């Protein structure tokens, strides 16, 4: 006795919709990627809450970045070690950097940095800002900028108060 009921679609419209939503939620859950079309995803607009919702995806991104970097380094080693090719490239000196397009709340970060000023070192604070790639170099640039501004201000101050120009002759004085 052979039965082929499984070949026929026995789901009505409501059952198909429930199956679609279940599959959509399961795919999001098992792939660690949040369902961006879910009505509950963006209800809480807090940046911290959004980060918690995206934490699984960010962990997957870090894993994929490590695999990608390892593959790029292996490919670079193969290219550099091609026989009869004169090169001056040291693969260990090449930096692989991945830039993600996740939204960052720079205003909140700037407010946090301003609130912690004087409590935490400037280098640590600058390291928290998303658009600063090298905090130590940025601290040196800020210091150099302050020195340059101070020198310019001293020069203006000394020019203003050491100005000896005035009437050369007594002819210019009206009596």
Res 172: pLDDT: 54
* Contact between residue 61 and residue 79 where contact means Cβ atoms under 8 Å apart: no
At 89 the pLDDT is 78
- pLDDT of 144 reads 94
DSSP 4: -
CB-CB neighbours of 126 under 10 Å: 18
Q: How does pLDDT run along the chain (175 residues), one tens digit per residue?
A: 788 877 777 778 888 888 888 998 898 888 878 777 777 766 666 667 777 777 888 888 899 999 999 999 999 888 888 777 777 778 788 888 888 877 777 888 889 999 998 898 988 988 888 888 888 899 899 999 999 999 998 888 887 666 555 555 555 555 5
DSSP-derived 3-state class of residue 130: coil
Give the count of beta carbons closer than 10 Å to the beta carbon of residue 76. Answer: 15
How is residue 140 written in tokens? 């040196």
Asked whether 106 and 130 are in contact (CB, 8 A), the reply is yes
Tokens 């800002």, residue located: 129
> Please, which contacts does 84-88 make with residues 24 or more away whose CB atoms are closer than 8 Å?
none
What per-residue confidence (pLDDT) applies to 145?
94
Reduced to 3 states (helix: H, G, I; strand: E, B; else coil), residue 82 is coil
């Amino acid at each position: 006795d052979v039965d082929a009921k499984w070949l026929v679609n026995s789901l009505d419209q409501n059952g198909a919709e429930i199956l679609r939503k279940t599959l959509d939620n399961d795919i999001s859950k098992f792939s660690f990627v949040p369902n961006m079309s879910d009505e509950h995803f963006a209800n809480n607009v807090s940046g911290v809450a959004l980060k918690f919702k995206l934490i699984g995806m960010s962990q997957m991104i870090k894993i994929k970045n490590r695999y990608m970097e390892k593959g790029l380094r292996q490919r670079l080693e193969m290219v550099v070690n091609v026989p009869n090719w004169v090169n001056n490239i040291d693969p260990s000196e090449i930096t692989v950097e991945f830039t993600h397009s996740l939204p960052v709340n720079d205003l909140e970060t700037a407010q946090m940095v301003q609130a912690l000023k004087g409590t935490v070192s400037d280098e640590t604070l600058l390291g928290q800002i998303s658009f600063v790639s090298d905090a130590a170099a940025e601290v040196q640039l800020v210091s150099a900028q302050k020195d340059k501004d101070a020198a310019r201000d001293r020069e203006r101050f000394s020019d203003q108060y050491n100005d000896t120009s005035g009437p050369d002759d007594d002819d210019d004085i009206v009596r």
